[in-house]
Chain A
Amino acid sequence: MTLAASPPRRRGPLSAWRAWRERRRERAKERGPRRLLANYLPPEGVPLNFVVAGLGSRLVAQIIDIMLTLIGTLAFIVLLNLTDAVPQTALSAIAALVFFFARIPYYVMAEILWNGQTLGKRILGIRVISADGRSLSAHAVTVRNLMKELEVFLPIGLATAATRMEALWAVISLLWVAGLIAIPVFHGRRQRLGDMIAGTYVVRTPKAVLLPDLTAEEGGASAAQFAFAPHHLDHYGRFELQTLERLLHQQPGRQRRAALRRRNELMAEVAGTVAKRIGFTEEIGESSAEAFLRDFYRAQRGYLENRKLLGDAREDKFHRDPESADR
């Protein structure tokens, strides 16, 4: 009878796919442009945030590591060969030994001694951290690099042997490699199999600079040209405030005249929009647009911070609270 009430809508595979893509895009928008490893909990109990390293940089780091170890071992063997330090007969045994140590032992020792970084990871600015918020243990490093034998070196070996394989084996190994690649691609925090078993993440080495506080310049409130009443400050939330912060942090520096003019125009336009929105009726001169925005930023931040302390955190101009905006 429900059938009679609402005839089933025809949903072809194409529209289902579109809906799925739409959902994915929305989720990606909510997550933000970078993959955040949020709420990483160190023993002190204050959650920290890390940015998960992209698969591209991990791939490049791996390639660099392979190149470096290969070049290193080959150079060592050629040098041994040239100097005649060891008899010819022992050379191949020594070569096998060196190649053995240039693989898993190199990665394990590098990641223990250099705090989660191999040479390639160092160059790319990424590192391994332990998932449990404690220091990286030798066990975890060993496990994730033992699995590297299956996840990285075995596929390379298979690729070089692919032309000599029977069809069945070629298909099986293709499936194996495809599965291995699929795991980190579809994993939200980009863990490969070895990372999952060892309990580790690969993250970007954090970097940031502290810029001067925008509210703490030249005497502050006493030097302010513009005064704002509480009803002026009730319109915006955190998101708008921090967008304005980003704009104001762009220092003019030694820009060319055209760039400076464009910046001033932008400031004037933003100041006009803000004034209109908050119902600010005083005249703002073209030249004092930036001063107006600074004063407004200062007043707005003080106001919003106070509201937040009183339990009224405003995420954006719709006055959502942060929890509902996260969803």
Chain B
Amino acid sequence: MTALAEHEGDVEPEAAHLIRSARFRAEREDDWQRLDALLRRVERRGIRSLSFAEAERLATLYGKTLTALSIAREISLDRNLLTYLEVLTARAFLAVYAPQQTLRGLLRRLLVYGIPGAVRRTGGAILFAALALFLGGLAGFLLFQDDPTWFNTFVPAGLGGSRGLGSTEAELLEVIYSGADAATDQLGAFASFLFSHNTRIAIFVFALGVVFCMPSFALTFYNGLIIGAFFGLHADRGVAYDLFGWLSIHGVTELGAIIIACAGGFHLGLGVIFPGRMRRADALRARGRDAVKLAVLAALMLLVAALLEAFLRQRIQDTELRLAIGWGIGLLWLAWFLLSGRRPA
């Protein structure tokens, strides 16, 4: 001990009055103050307020201070100094490793590469989801043919508006071709009601997929049942073609959104059922990357569907034009999914 103390004494005569950890601090304190000043600016005005040289200095000072922290942990017992260094390096870490993307760059990458890539990678799940909806529709239609009172079981009150088993052909046609003269703000309210209804369905269909896909399948199948029963009713009155046009203009996009959301749920659920060589939680997290993109896509499609529904559905009275717009937009979606981002950036 005494030998060490003597040795300490003659290392650096000019700083001999300081103990080792204090000397350590005195040598580096200027760097810390400079880093602190830079960080205060970044925290207040963002990393963009720094010049190139300053940003470079920030990175260098971060590395130096990190080294100082790990030395200080070994040699110093000064609690205040250690706390300060811990906090300073944590702040510098947050500044250096802040998300660097711009919003435009993020959106571009998501729209050009992220979403279409995710759709192409999850093609099987999407086909499966479309099948669930189609089977539901078929079952609904056939059941309605068998016994029309199924309609009341499937279709929740309020969703069909004034339409029901008692409606005549004229009444059904009136809803389909009302519009130009009808109170449009009422229609807008109905559209926003449907929008929130559909968003809620999409969220449930997506999130509940985690439970072995079953709730997603059931909900999508049920949605198909509603549509099938609706078709059954209109086919019975001989206005199926008109209904097809009326539904197509926004329904192609809207049902597409439900299918996509359901496929996202399936994608997650398949990870739970067949995790492969990963643990289930890890499989879920890995599959989450594509599933979330599908969820974002579903939200986007629902938004477009709501806009189509609010602004175009009742304005355009011609069934052929409704069909052309609805399926044309459907083709555009398909082209986006299949063609975009094929070439790497």
Contacts and interface: CB of A to CB of B under 8 A. Distances in A.
Given A93-B311, A135-B99, A302-B20, A210 B77 contact: no
Contact of A96 (B76, B185, B196): B196
A309 B75 contact: yes
Given A112-B103, A213-B25, A301-B19, A146 B292 contact: yes
Interface in A261-300: 298
A239 B25 CA distance: 21
B35 to A, nearest CB: 11
Interface in A96-150: 96-97, 100, 104, 109, 112-113, 115-116, 127, 129, 134-139, 142-143, 146, 149-150
Given A216-B22, A222-B17, A308-B77, A137 B99 contact: yes
Contact of A95 (B25, B63, B192, B307): B192
Interface in B165-195: 184-185, 188-189, 191-192, 195
A219 B17 contact: yes
Contacts of A306: 1, 4-5, 8, 20
A48 B62 CA distance: 13
A122 B93 CA distance: 18
A50 B91 CA distance: 10
A135 B32 contact: no
Size bin of chain A's contact surface: 35 or more
Nearest to A245: B79
A209 B2 CA distance: 35
Interface string B4-25: 1100100000000111111001
B282 to A, nearest CB: 11
B201 to A, nearest CB: 13
B66 A215 contact: no
A93 B185 CA distance: 9
Given A206-B91, A246-B79, A215 B19 contact: yes
A150 B203 contact: yes
Interface stretch (A9-17, A24-32, A75-83, A84-92): A84-92
A208 interface: yes
B191 A93 contact: yes
A252 interface: no
Size bin of chain B's contact surface: 35 or more
A113 B192 CA distance: 30
Contacts, number: 168
A323 interface: no
Contacts of A301: 19, 21, 77-78
B100 A135 contact: yes
Contacts of B19: 215, 220, 298, 301-302, 305
Interface string B93-105: 1100111110100
A155 to B, nearest CB: 13
A249 interface: yes
Nearest to B21: A305
A5 interface: no
Given A138-B106, A150-B203, A112 B192 contact: no
A241 B80 CA distance: 12
B81 A96 contact: no
Given A46-B70, A92-B192, A129-B94, A215 B103 contact: no
Nearest to A233: B1
Interface in A45-90: 46, 48-50, 88-90
Contacts of A197: 284-285, 288
B90 A115 contact: no
Given A46-B66, A93-B310, A139 B77 contact: no
Contacts of B303: 97, 100
Interface in B123-153: none
Contacts of A209: 84
Given A48-B89, A93-B311, A146-B295, A221 B17 contact: yes
Contacts of A304: 77
A117 to B, nearest CB: 10
Chain A residues touching B, majority SS:
helix
Contact of B75 (A245, A246, A308): A308
B20 A305 contact: yes
Contacts of A221: 17
A218 to B, nearest CB: 10
B23 to A, nearest CB: 9
Contact of B188 (A93, A116, A137, A220): A93
Contacts of A93: 188, 191-192, 306-307, 310-311
A242 interface: yes
B83 interface: yes
Given A146-B295, A213-B25, A90 B188 contact: yes
Which of A90, A92, A112, A139 has its CB near the most chain B CB atoms (within 10 A)? A92
A42 interface: yes
A213 B184 contact: no
Interface in A190-229: 197, 199, 206-211, 213-216, 219-222
30 contacts: A42-B66, A44-B66, A46-B66, A48-B89, A89-B185, A89-B188, A92-B185, A92-B189, A104-B299, A115-B99, A116-B94, A138-B99, A142-B292, A143-B288, A143-B292, A150-B207, A197-B288, A199-B285, A206-B87, A208-B83, A213-B78, A215-B19, A216-B18, A222-B17, A230-B1, A246-B79, A305-B21, A306-B20, A308-B74, A308-B77
Interface of B: 1-2, 4-5, 8, 17-22, 25-26, 29, 32, 63, 66-67, 69-70, 74-81, 83-84, 86-91, 93-94, 97-101, 103, 106, 110, 184-185, 188-189, 191-192, 195-196, 199, 203, 207, 284-285, 288-289, 292, 295-296, 299, 303, 306-307, 310-311
